[in-house]
Structure 1
Amino acid sequence: SKYFPDRNVDISEWFKFYEYLVAQGHTVVVIPDQEDCFRSREYTKFPWVVFEPAAFDVDLRMALCCGAKLNFASSNGPSSLLCFSEAKFLLFDLLRGGIIKKSWWERHNGFPVGENYPWLGQNQRLVWEDSSFETLKKEYLKAAKNF
């Protein structure tokens, strides 16, 4: 993000994870960040399967997410919709960059950092770590036991 660069993820770590999942035999579709679609288009520097229309159409995004075996997302506005859906997901980077502090989170969300929203299902989880290849892979391996 141009406005909150401390919250930006290392897209090369996500691409490394993408390659790992593809090597495991999964079909992976990336929904790029909407701001990135309009600005620097960093996601185009990597040869992954991307579905740009879902970055602009909320219904299309949610249809794709709800049909996925598992969604991996970095915390942002559109990814918050996952928390109000039936989609299976792991949501990373909730406190990334220190913009959102633990005390703010707990005061505004009503539960401690490290827990889930009380309405989330078994295959819907907040991951209280920043995304990196190692963290993404570790959480994938935990979640894959439920497939």
Structure 2
Amino acid sequence: MSVTNMSSNIIDPTLLLIPYQLNIYLGLFIFITGNISWIGNIIVFSSRNFRGRACSIYLIAESYFNFLYFDYVLVIRMIQKGFRLPIINRYDVVCKIRQFLSQYTHQVAFTLITLATIDRLLSTHHSIGMF
């Protein structure tokens, strides 16, 4: 005769709340640090030392696209997953804008950082007949 332990099948309710709390608190931390770094990038790359360099334009534009990504996509995720509000399921426009911005801003930011890297690489070479 086998005796099953019924208490092993019960999951503690606090364990079920951990993913939601992590979405809220880690998302809020990433949101705050992302906005601080965005402001810092804009201040640094708009300064007089970097204004004359062409790569600073790429990096400022990349900062704006990262700002869009963090402030829209991350906030929608925090609302959807952390607070359990079905904002994406309820509003099709929010879902489509979030999907577009999550793909578009990430790709544009990556392209701009790549162009800034190529610009700095080519500006350090002194031989004109390289290419």
TM-score band, normalised by shorter chain: under 0.3
Higher strand proportion (structure 1 or 2): 1
Higher helix proportion (structure 1 or 2): 2
TM-score when normalising by structure 1: 0.25
